[in-house]
Structure 1
Amino acid sequence: MGKFGVTEILMILAVVLLLFGGKKIPELMKGLGSGIKEFKNAAKGDEPADSKKEETKE
């Protein structure tokens, strides 16, 4: 498989827009961003701030 060009990227974006609609895309991007953040924290071995707070309470 070769590199993605501008045309391929535009085609993919058009299909995503048709499948999910304009209202759902911000929700999808928010979920994707939080998933990436959690993955980076897990890769570093850091725990989320929420779980650290819970451990100190116990």
Structure 2
Amino acid sequence: MLKLALLFLVISIVAGIFGFGGVSAASAGIAKILFFICIVVFVIFLVLGVMAGKAIF
């Protein structure tokens, strides 16, 4: 998912360079959403991993 966020970020930068403002803004918005979803999933799995580690011992 983080790869997709980086891909949309690159698309946004390239579209901005060539003057496609709408495409650039849309790609940047998608990249931002994917990045925050990735961060939330990471935090959830981190908490679950810590809780599972404590349950074993």
TM-score, with length taken from structure 2:
0.45
Larger fraction in helix: 2
Per chain length, whose mean CA-contact separation is higher, i.e. which structure has more relative contact order (CA < 8 Å, sep 6+)?
A: 2
TM-score by length of structure 1 reads 0.44
